[in-house]
Structure 1
Amino acid sequence: MTGTLTDTVLTALPGVTDWQLLPGGPQDILLVAGPPPAPRGTSAPGPDDARAVEDGDSAVLGTDPAALPAAMRHLDETALLTMARVLDRTRLFRDGGRPATDEILAALAVAPRHAWIVRRWLRTLTAENRLTRDPATGRHHSLDVPDRRDHARALRDLDAACRALGYPPAMTRFFRAAAERLPLLLQDRASLQEVLFPDGETGTAQGNYRDSAPSRWANHAAASLIAGQARHRPAGGPLRLLEAGAGVGGTTGTVLEALGDTPVDYLFTDVSPFFLRAARDTFGDRPGLRHALFDIQADPLTQGFEAGSLDVVLAANVLHNARHAGRCLAALRELLAPGGLLVMVESCQEHYQALTSMYLLMSPAPDEEGWFTDLREGQDRVFLTAEEWTRQLDAAGFDPLPVLPPDGHPLTAAAGQRVVAGRVRPHDGRPDPGRVRAALTDRLPPATRLPRVHAVDHIIRTTTPTGDPR
């Protein structure tokens, strides 16, 4: 269908001054923007932001923030040792070997969808001076291989580091099990889901998304912002809240607790029925709590949602999975009423431990033709920085709120888990998707499938860096 959407067809659409066409599998996506709004920048911290910081801090009382950087570094150091041990098993680096990336992937028999993880290993080990890459040839050499006993000792010592970070023992076992199975996981001969959800239990995942100190802080701060939105909403009717990609409900319980007896229409959603069943067991028949399937990659309006029908959208540790962050944010903004609030919890810096564990859950599906089509395209990365998320919110039509925890807070540098939020920005100059679709109908051949159209305030162009190992 993309072939029919030529520059001629897309030029001079009603109210459109800029556009971007995104291939979207069975249906393309068209982002359209009109005259940009006046620059406003990130909102200044207000009472609700200060209260959110206080609530986050209260949630981690008893945790020594000074111990967190060393504990996180131990997890990362263990991951670096694990990467090097797995790479050494190929024997390609021995006796002065200088393998290319493709040779390493072949020797490890990496499933194509996980190849990006190994490429990330190579860049990470090079940045940490554990590996050398020849810029002229792209070949790698001089791998610093840890002694087997040192690696085993680092795995044993994970207990203390995990305790310092607030992880339960189940997370320590998960990290160790993932390291032991890593070659099989990369080959898709074993599933990380089986390690993370043993016998269908969600306790290990809850340890990551609910119990760790960084997650407790972020969840309570996010819940505080949502409670603030409830306090400021007009009288009458429940707070209408959609939680997208709720997963094991690591944030849900904290939000429900913060809302107290506030009347709510709380829609707990995920792309997997497994999590909906688990949520029913966990939260029971909490008044106002409903459950439904929801896919952030698809248009919400085609999934039974109505434009302007929500007061809050909560997305904890999920929107980094969006194949195009700007498209996803614009679609979620369309669901929010004027002044509505989007609250995200996101990892905004990379931790090496994820490269030997959780990243395996973030690879594209085996039958997925493409991957990220936004600013991450071609970069072998998943997470956006806090600054990138703020820019994406602004472009999608939100007034970004201050990112929490703020710069200088003890948890900011140590954990990388941030609360990123934005409020729907009024902007009369945004194109009307309905008028755009009507204009396309007049210009395209009969029976042509129209793209999904989302209006944004700015178009963020994709730039692909060069020089990455391939």
Structure 2
Amino acid sequence: MNGALTDEVLTGLPGVTDWQLVRGGARDALLVAGPPPDARVPAGTDHDDARAASRAADAGDAAVRDADPAALPALMRQLDETALLTIARVLDRTRLFRAAGRPATEEVLGALAVAPRHAWIVRRWLRTLTAEGRLRRDPATGRHHSLVVPDRRDHARALRELDGACRGLGYPAAMTRFFRAAAERLPLLLQDRTSLQEVLFPDGETDTARGNYRDSVPSRWANHAAASLIADEARRRTAPAPLRVLEAGAGVGGTTGTVLEALADTPVDYLFTDVSPFFLRAARDVFGDRPGLRHALFDIQADPLAQGLEPESQDVVLAANVLHNARHAGRALAALRELLAPGGLLVLVESCREHYQALTSMYLLMSPAPGEQDWFTDLRAGQDRVFLTAGEWTRHLDASGFDPLPVLPHEAHPLAAAAGQRVVAGRVRTRGARPDPGRVRAALADRLPPAHPLPRIHPVDDIIRPTDPTGAPC
């Protein structure tokens, strides 16, 4: 199917100085870039946006005034420590590390009978334990040895003390039970003999997940900061029409409620979307018939236009804790930019650092689907990681045609270091000449056999390619 999209065919397209073919899904995508804009505006140099970002940071701080910021790093570390102990116990039960054993990674995967789609998690375990000094790896052979195994009583005590740490971080009691249940079922979860959805959504209830994404200290801060940015966007508009907001991957609506509260007096056309009908039904139960609120299925991996959305049809796009799932972040951002009106605002809420607790719980929701051949095809390709750093998100926004706003909370803020949950926003860049997708499409049609499907064309300002571990382009 893709054999005709060769370098020879893709080189020299009109107005295109660089390109990247992104494979995957029902239809390939082609990112095309022209000459770079004459100047890039550094984040925060737009005075209105800088003031809006400052107000958003104040809103985040006000939302967590009942929490002690100085205590947060120790509480997060306690969750991470419990996960490290759990991982070591699971690995020890394979008996591969006993009696001076030196297993290779594939032997560990085999002993745990890990489903292929979850193998990346175990590879991540091994690297993490090595980085923490609890496992050693022979660089010459790649074999692992000298696993530090916690005492059973120490592990049990750590699981009991999760309650206090979770309370301090604002997690509901149900989230503590979820962490424990996931730890207890970890071998079965890795084997796909049970699913994490059954643990996170018991009897179809969404309270546990909603409490995580709505009530925890990091989520409260980020949700209120994001809501402040969107409310500011409503205030700065002069048009009498409703503010058009698309929330992509809204899930349990943990961010939605805060945003709707901030827009309480604003006429809105708010489109709540998710890839799963389950979440749309739950949202109708939670938010009822709020004026201006609509619901629709939407998949961030697929072409938005093919899903019934129109170019330049949104004033704001919100994506909270979802865009890290995009197989290619640059393609997803470029597609969302095309939905935004000129000068429109994109607001992301993203975890920008890894927490070990996720290695024993939420990461199991992020593995590729059974039988899926490709996983991440952007700069994360081959790296066994999900989350992008704040700097990587900012770079992707810039490359996709956005002027980035300051990332919130700022680097020196206790929550930035402790939780890593950040608000990353960008405004659609209105200057610079990107390649015309119509001209590119017409040129491709002339070069390809008549029956060959054309890729979806996404004009961008720059192409970001994967790098190998040394930083060299792949």
The answer to whether TM tops 0.5 is yes
* Contact preservation (8 Å) 2:50, 2:405: no
The aligned counterpart of 1:238 is 242
Partner of 1:170, secondary structure, is helix
Structure 1: which 5+ runs fail to align? none
* Contact preservation (8 Å) 1:93, 1:141: yes
The aligned counterpart of 2:28 is 28
| 1:253-272 alpha-carbon deviations (Å, 9 max, x no partner) | 00000011100000000000
The aligned counterpart of 2:99 is 95
Equivalences for residues 235-314 of structure 1 within 5 A = 235-314=239-318
Q: For the residues of structure 1 that align with 2:29 and 2:180, how far apart are their CA atoms? A: 41
* Contact preservation (8 Å) 2:43, 2:403: yes
Partner of 2:381, secondary structure, is coil
What letter corresponds to residue 401 of structure 2 in structure 1?
Answer: G
Match of 2:467 among 450, 454, 463: 463
Q: For the residues of structure 2 that align with 1:25 and 1:179, how far apart are their CA atoms? A: 33
* Contact preservation (8 Å) 2:25, 2:302: no
* Contact preservation (8 Å) 1:344, 1:419: yes
The aligned counterpart of 1:326 is 330
Quick check: 1:188 aligned with 2:188?
no
The aligned counterpart of 1:376 is 380
Q: CA deviation at 1:462?
A: 1.4
The aligned counterpart of 1:339 is 343
The aligned counterpart of 2:366 is 362
| 1:350-397 alpha-carbon deviations (Å, 9 max, x no partner) | 000000000000000002111000000000000000000000000000
**Structure 1 residues 60-69 or 97-106, which shifts more?**
60-69
The aligned counterpart of 1:166 is 170
| 1:314-355 alpha-carbon deviations (Å, 9 max, x no partner) | 000000000000000000000000110000000000000000
Quick check: 1:179 aligned with 2:183?
yes
Q: CA deviation at 1:75?
A: 0.2
Q: CA deviation at 1:25?
A: 3.8
Match of 1:81 among 82, 85, 91: 85
Partner of 2:270, secondary structure, is strand
Q: CA deviation at 1:466?
A: 6.8
Quick check: 1:401 aligned with 2:414?
no
* Contact preservation (8 Å) 1:378, 1:465: no
**Structure 1 residues 88-97 or 3-12, which shifts more?**
3-12
Using structure 1 for the length normalisation, give the TM-score.
Answer: 0.98
Q: Which runs of 4+ in 1 moved over 3 A?
A: none
Q: CA deviation at 1:428?
A: 4.1
What letter corresponds to residue 31 of structure 2 in structure 1?
Answer: L
The aligned counterpart of 2:71 is 67
Structure 2: which 5+ runs fail to align? none
Q: For the residues of structure 2 that align with 1:186 and 1:9, how far apart are their CA atoms? A: 43
Partner of 1:337, secondary structure, is strand
Equivalences for residues 406-421 of structure 1 within 5 A = 406-421=410-425
| 1:47-92 alpha-carbon deviations (Å, 9 max, x no partner) | 2111101110111111011111111000000000000000001000
The aligned counterpart of 1:116 is 120
The aligned counterpart of 2:44 is 43
* Contact preservation (8 Å) 2:36, 2:432: no
| 1:132-153 alpha-carbon deviations (Å, 9 max, x no partner) | 0000000000000001111000
Quick check: 1:136 aligned with 2:140?
yes
Q: CA deviation at 1:39?
A: 2.5
Partner of 1:95, secondary structure, is coil
**Structure 1 residues 257-266 or 18-27, which shifts more?**
18-27
* Contact preservation (8 Å) 1:78, 1:155: yes
Q: For the residues of structure 1 that align with 2:299 and 2:387, how far apart are their CA atoms? A: 19
What letter corresponds to residue 302 of structure 2 in structure 1?
Answer: A
Partner of 1:391, secondary structure, is helix
Partner of 1:392, secondary structure, is helix
What letter corresponds to residue 422 of structure 1 in structure 2?
Answer: G
**Structure 1 residues 394-403 or 18-27, which shifts more?**
18-27
Q: CA deviation at 1:26?
A: 3.4
* Contact preservation (8 Å) 2:25, 2:301: no
Match of 1:105 among 91, 98, 109: 109
The aligned counterpart of 2:217 is 213
What letter corresponds to residue 10 of structure 2 in structure 1?
Answer: L
Q: For the residues of structure 2 that align with 1:92 and 1:458, how far apart are their CA atoms? A: 47
Match of 2:208 among 196, 204, 221: 204
Q: For the residues of structure 2 that align with 1:432 and 1:284, how far apart are their CA atoms? A: 42
Q: CA deviation at 1:2?
A: 2.1
What letter corresponds to residue 351 of structure 1 in structure 2?
Answer: H
Aligned pairs, how many? 467
Q: CA deviation at 1:238?
A: 0.2
What letter corresponds to residue 66 of structure 2 in structure 1?
Answer: G
